Structure formats: C-alpha cells, structure tokens
Structure 1
Amino acid sequence: MRFIFATCAILALGLPTGPAFAGPAPAPAYLGGWTEDAQGCSQPLAEGSLQPGEYVFGKEARSHFEGRCRITHAEQSGTFGWKLDEVCGGGPSARKARWTLSVAGDTMIASIARGSKGGEPFTLKRCATR
C-alpha cells in the first residue's frame, strides 16, 4: 500500500519517472578513430596526421587526411546504424555528403553519397575512441 501511495505522490508532484529519469544517453558507437587497414592502428589517429583511409569521427566533425568536414546533421537509423550529413569546405566550393554507418563492435560498414550518387560500402576497423 505504501508503494501505491508513493507512486501517486510522485505523479501528483510531476516528478520524472521511468526511462527519462535514467540519465544521459550513451555516446554514438561511431565516435572515434577508424581505418580501412588495421595496420593503421599502430599509432594513435589524430587530426592533422591522418593518412588516406584513416578517419576520426567526432560529434561535430569528421577528420580525414585531406582535412575536416563539419557534421550538419546526425540521426540514428535502426539499432546499429547512423546517417550523417556533412559539409566539406566553404563558399561556392563546399561539398555536401551523406554517410551511412553501421557499427558492430570494432567493425563499421560505411558508405558515402555525394550529390545524387551512392557509394559502395567499405569496412573500417576501430583504432581508438575519442
């Protein structure tokens, strides 16, 4: 009977209950350093020293050997997937792209579409989280 009374009191006061009270959501699984060649993981991946096929995904940007692209939109797609929209460069030469990512453990299947063309999927291995 005390449980019922306590629950009614919480609801009457408007206090949070259930999953919203559980705390912050976990970070997306795609964050961190990734490489097409597991040999690339021998040194920490860092912006400014990336080689072709090496990427660092952050919450606001994706770094690669040619520079940095700003992530303009990120949304979860299914249980293990995400879609990221990005802009690389600025002004009239800015390039937009959409990444489709699927992460299982330390393996990511990624594809990138630029304009109206979809890219072939490729596999990345996790090097380090950020």
Structure 2
Amino acid sequence: MHELSIVRALLRQVGRVAGAHGGGPVRRVTVRLGPLSGVEPALLAQAFPKACAGTAAAGAELVIESVPVRVQCRACGHVDEAAPNRLRCPACGCAETVLVGGDELLLVSVDLEGRLNV
C-alpha cells in the first residue's frame, strides 16, 4: 500500500509546520484530495493512525476534503467539472482539454493543541 509512504511524507510536512509554530501535539490534519491523485481515500485514512503512532500526531484526526476533476477547454476556454474518465469539455464536447484540478493531494491545515489552522 503506497498510501502508507504517502502518509509518512505528509507527516514529515506536518512536523515541519508544527515545528515552525512552536510544536505541540497535532489534533487534526486536513488534506485536499482529487480523484486523479492516485491516492485511495479509504486507504489513506486507514494508514494515517498507523503512521502517526509514536509521533506528535498520535491520535490526530485526518480530514479528507474531496475535490472534483476540473478541465479547461483549449477550443472554447470553458472551465468546468468533468468525470475522471471523461475529460472532454462539458460545454462544446472537445477532447482537447487541460486538467486544472482533481489530481492534487494538498496539506490544507494542521491543528495543534491550543491552536487552530496553522
């Protein structure tokens, strides 16, 4: 399960953020996850507590915010949501689109004990 290595990398980033804000126990980690990120949300959630054991994030809550796939049409310029397996422009049907969202895995916020959203 590559989600475990992803969570470990995420926790390194969480540790840097927490350290920059005085450290302390991590209570919540919020991430933004797109369907084309290559990460399975359920497996990420399952790996999170295992990777957190023995760290400042032990017992922390993982919040996963899902984001839709978004494309921009090269022909008409329209930007809209699209199905992960159908990246055509919803407005004109053109197949020449540019992915502008839905492939991300972003650390949105880290809530530390006594502080919110750092």
TM-score normalised by the shorter chain: which range applies?
Answer: under 0.3
Q: Which has the higher strand share?
A: 1
Larger gyration radius, structure 1 or structure 2: 1
Greater relative CO (CA pairs within 8 A, separation 6+): 2
Choose between structure 1 and 2: higher helix proportion.
Answer: 2
TM-score computed with the length of structure 2 as normaliser = 0.23
